[in-house]
Amino acid sequence: MGTVEPQVAQSQEVTDGFHLVIDALKLNGIDTIFGLPGIPITDLTRKAQAAGMRVISFRHEQNAGNAAAIAGFMTQKPGICLTVSAPGFLNGLTALANATTNCFPMILISGSSEREVVDLQQGDYEELDQLAIAKPLCKAAFRVLHAADIGVGVARAIRAAVSGRPGGVYLDLPAKLFPQTMDADAGKKSLIRVVDPAPRQIPAQDAVQRALALLKGAKRPLILLGKGAAYAQADADIRALIERTGIPYLPMSMAKGLLPDTHEQCASAARSYVLPEADVVMLVGARLNWLLSHGKGKTWGGKDSKDWGGQKFIQVDISPQEADSNVRIDAPLVGDIGSCVSALLAGIGSSWAKPPADWLAAVAERKTKNIAKMAETLAKNPVPMNFHSALNVVRDIVKANPGAILVNEGANALDFTRSIVDMYQPRKRLDVGTWGIMGIGMGFAVAAAVVSGEAVIAIEGDSAFGFSGMEVETICRYNLPVCVVVMNNNGVYRGDEVNPTGGSDPAPLVFIKGARYEKLMEAFGGVGVQATTPAELRAAMEQAIRSRKPTLINAAIDEAAGTESGRITSLNPSAKKK
C-alpha cells in the first residue's frame, strides 16, 4: 500500500496513475470531463486535455457536477465530474446526490489526501474521509489505491452508474495513486473495456400479459410518461404504444416532448380531470412520489389527503423495488423501459380496441376549454410584463426552434414555463427534477450545449439563477450557444414584501429591485439585454438563437405576479400563530 513500485529499467516504457485513469475513461468511450482543477488533480485535467479529451472547467464544483449528471441523462453514458479533495468533493456531492435521486448516471471522481494521515485524523491538507461520506448519498462508492487497479475501479464505477436504475457513483483517487508508475504494457493489459454496461432487462411474459389484461379491460385508461421513459431512448416504440392504444397520456416535466406536447392524445391541459377520473393508470418510467401526490389523496379522487382513489395501476419500471412504494400496484412490469414497451407492443398487435369514445370525448372537452382559457391569458399584454406575457414569447421561440434545449428552474418561473411552453422533441426539457433543486441552471446549460451542439435556452427565476450565475463566465469562455433569460421579479416567488418591523433590512424573500443581471454577461464579453416588453424579449431571443452568441436577457417581470412557492403552495407549512 502506498509504496510506489520500484522504477523499472530506463529502456522499458512506463505509465502512471494519471495516464491510466485517462486511458481507462477513453477506452470506455468517455470523451468529456466536467471539473475544477487543484491539488491533486491539476495534472489530470492538463493531461486529459492533451490526450484529446474535452475538459470543461467550471467556477464551482456543484455546477460541474450538475453538468456531468445531465450529460449522463442525455447520453446514457456516465457523466464525469472531477474535483479536488475535501471542500471540492463536498461541493460536488450535492450534484452526486441529486443525480442519484433523479437516476442520472454520473461518476464523481475526487482526489483525496493521504490515507494514513486521514485515517489517523492527523490533520492533512484537505483531510476528509470522503469515501465514507459519499456512500449513503450515491449508488456505489469505490477507492483505488494501486495503479494496477485503476482499470477495475473505472469499470466498476461505469457499470454501477449505468446498469439497472442509473445513479451517481463516487470514485476516490488518493493523491499518491497518480504518480505511481508501472510497466506500460502491464498497465494497458490492466484496463477493462466494459462489455454491455447496461444490459437489457427483459420483462417476464406473464407480467406483460397481466398488464395488458388490465389495460384492455379499462374504461378510462391513462398513461403517465416519466423521465425514465425519456432516458430510455425508446422514443419510436413509446410513441407507437401511445398511438396504437389510443390512450390519453400525461408527460411528467422531463418527459415533455417525448411526443409533441401538441399531440391530440396529450392530456396535460386536462390533468386535474384525468387523474381522479382514470380507472387504470399505466406508469412508464414514472414514480408515484410527491410529484404525483403519492398516487392518492384528492388529486386522485380520494376523500382526504391519505385516501386512495379507485385507480388500478400498472407500473413499468427497471427497479423491482419500486412497486407498492405508495399505493398498491396491480400489475408491476419490471425491466428496462425499451424492452418492456416493445413487449407490450408485441402483445397489443394491430387490432387493439381504442378506449371508449365517451372517455376520449370528456378528456378532449376539458382540454379544449382549458387551452382556450390559457390562450386568452397569454394574449394579454399587461404593463409591467408578467410570467404569462413573457412566456408566450418563449413558447413561440421554442416552437420555431424545436431542436433547442430548454433548461428551467425557479418556482413561478419553473411552473409557468412547464405549463405554457410546449416541447416537441424528446429530452429537450431539463429541469429541477425530483428534488425541485435550485442551482442546476448553468451547469445543465453548459453540458447541454457541449454534449448536443444545439442552442440552449435557460429560463431562470432570478433567485434560481443566483445559485450558478458565475458560470456565465464559463459559457463565454467556451463560447457556448446559450441564451439565459432571467425572469426578474425582484425576489424569491415575488419581490413586493416589506420588513414588517419597518427596519432597514429588506424582507427575507426580496432582492435588489431592478437588478441588471445582463451586465454580468457583458462583463465576460457576452451579449446582455434588458427587456421590459414582450417585443423586446422576442427580438433579443431571436437574435440570440440566430447568432449563437452567449446571451443573457434580463426580463423585468411584475414583482407582484408570482405566488408563494409557485404551484406547490400547499406543501409550505405556514405559521398558525399570526
Binding site for ligand TPP (CB under 6 A): 410-413, 436-439, 461-464, 487, 489, 492-493, 562, 566
The residue among 142 and 416 lying less far from Mg ion, judged by its C-beta, is: 416
Asked if residue 386 binds Mg ion (CB under 5 A), the reply is no
CB of 49 vs ligand TPP, minimal distance in Å: 31
Cis peptide before 355 (omega within 30 of 0): no
411 binds, among ligand TPP, Mg ion, none (CB under 5 to 8 A by kind): ligand TPP
Asked if residue 172 binds Mg ion (CB under 5 A), the reply is no
Strand order in the sheet with 551-556: 429-431, 405-409, 456-461, 482-488, 551-556, 527-531
Choose the stretch contacting Mg ion; rule: CB under 5 A; options: 37-45, 303-311, 390-398, 460-468: 460-468
| 369 φ/ψ angles, rounded to the nearest 5 degrees | -65, -45
How many of the other CB atoms lie within 10 Å of CB of 268?
A: 19
Query: Under a CB-based contact definition with an 8 Å cutoff, are residues 531 and 537 in contact?
Result: yes
State whether residue 423 is helix, strand or coil: coil
The residue among 172 and 462 lying less far from Mg ion, judged by its C-beta, is: 462
The residue among 438 and 527 lying less far from Mg ion, judged by its C-beta, is: 438
Residue whose cell numbers read 477506452: 27
Residue whose cell numbers read 428551467: 408
Task: Report the Cα–Cα distance between both ends of the chain, in Å, rounded.
Answer: 63
Q: Rounded to whole angstroms, how far apart are CA atoms 457 and 257? A: 15
CB of 102 vs ligand TPP, minimal distance in Å: 14
Strand order in the sheet with 54-57: 54-57, 32-35, 79-83, 106-112, 168-174, 140-143
Choose the stretch contacting Mg ion; rule: CB under 5 A; options: 91-99, 222-230, 302-310, 458-466: 458-466
Residue 271 grid coordinates = 390533468
301 binds, among ligand TPP, Mg ion, none (CB under 5 to 8 A by kind): none
The residue among 502 and 508 lying less far from ligand TPP, judged by its C-beta, is: 508
Counts for the chain of helices (H) and strands (E), in that order: 21, 19
CB of 286 vs ligand TPP, minimal distance in Å: 21
Span 468-497, contacts to Mg ion by CB under 5 A: 489
The residue among 98 and 110 lying less far from ligand TPP, judged by its C-beta, is: 98
464 binds, among ligand TPP, Mg ion, none (CB under 5 to 8 A by kind): ligand TPP
| 168 φ/ψ angles, rounded to the nearest 5 degrees | -85, 145
- Count residues near Mg ion (CB under 5 A): 3
CB of 468 vs ligand TPP, minimal distance in Å: 11
The residue among 32 and 463 lying less far from ligand TPP, judged by its C-beta, is: 463
436 binds, among ligand TPP, Mg ion, none (CB under 5 to 8 A by kind): ligand TPP
Residues 6+ apart with CB under 8 A from 263: 242
Asked if residue 441 binds Mg ion (CB under 5 A), the reply is no
Query: Under a CB-based contact definition with an 8 Å cutoff, are residues 491 and 509 in contact?
Result: yes
483 binds, among Mg ion, ligand TPP, none (CB under 5 to 8 A by kind): none
How many CA atoms are closer than 13 Å to the CA of 42, on its beta-carbon side?
A: 3
The residue among 413 and 447 lying less far from ligand TPP, judged by its C-beta, is: 413
The residue among 202 and 470 lying less far from ligand TPP, judged by its C-beta, is: 470
Q: Rounded to whole angstroms, how far apart are CA atoms 252 and 487? A: 23
The residue among 70 and 150 lying less far from ligand TPP, judged by its C-beta, is: 70
CB of 511 vs Mg ion, minimal distance in Å: 8
Among 23, 124, 126, 462, binds Mg ion (CB under 5 A): 462
CB of 464 vs ligand TPP, minimal distance in Å: 3
Among 226, 251, 285, 461, binds Mg ion (CB under 5 A): 461
CB of 491 vs Mg ion, minimal distance in Å: 5
- When CB distances to ligand TPP are compared, the closest residue is 461
Query: Under a CB-based contact definition with an 8 Å cutoff, are residues 142 and 169 in contact?
Result: yes
CB of 233 vs Mg ion, minimal distance in Å: 34
Check residue 77 and report its DSSP letter: S
- In 3D space, the residue among 222, 332, 354 whose CA is nearest the CA of residue 276 turns out to be 222
CA 304 to each of CA 121, 203, 274, 309, 325: distance values in angstroms, whole numbers, following the listed order: 53, 36, 18, 10, 19
Choose the stretch contacting Mg ion; rule: CB under 5 A; options: 45-53, 91-99, 175-183, 453-461: 453-461
CB of 290 vs ligand TPP, minimal distance in Å: 13
Q: By CB under 5 A, name the binding residues for Mg ion.
A: 461-462, 489
